[in-house]
Structure 1
């Protein structure tokens, strides 16, 4: 019985990080594939990521390190963007993908 409990605990602990990684560390969001992201922009459901990058560059300087598009169960979409500022500090932005406005900034 103890072996079964240990095995179940081990399985739960090893699978949870993989599930979170697939969702960008956000358990309440689903990551878009590159094709889904292009389709959302083409359909006008999200602003192009290039537009968001230009806005961040104007406001903060620097450049993009990585970006992902996510959706929540309520239908809202957002970008998670890692950014390097001009002075070499790393920042993380959460941007509303429908309006392009910064919702949250950490670091930098």
Structure 2
């Protein structure tokens, strides 16, 4: 019996980080699929990533490493963007998807 409980506990520890990564480390948000993200942009609900990338490039130089769109239960949407600055430092941005304004910046 102890062996079975140990297996379940170890399974939970290995699955939990993957689930958190799928949500950008934010357990209170749901990740958009690529199709949902395109539809949100097409409907004018979110700013296109290309515009946000242009803004970040003007302000910080460099280029995008990865980006995901998320939605909270209250209906707000935000992008989580990993960015490489011109001088080779990695930064992470949380950007309001409806306005395009940077809400949080870490690193870089």
Smaller-chain TM-score bracket: over 0.9
Partner of 2:54: 54
Unaligned stretches of 5+ residues in structure 1: none
Unaligned stretches of 5+ residues in structure 2: none
1:10 aligns with 2:20: no
TM-score by length of 1: 0.93
Alignment of 1:10-89 (within 5 A): 10-89=10-89
TM-score by length of 2: 0.93
SS at match of 1:69: strand
The structural deviation recorded for 1:21 is 2.1
Q: Paired residues, what number?
A: 108
Deviation digits for residues 54-77 of structure 1, max 9, x if unmatched? 111111111111111011111110
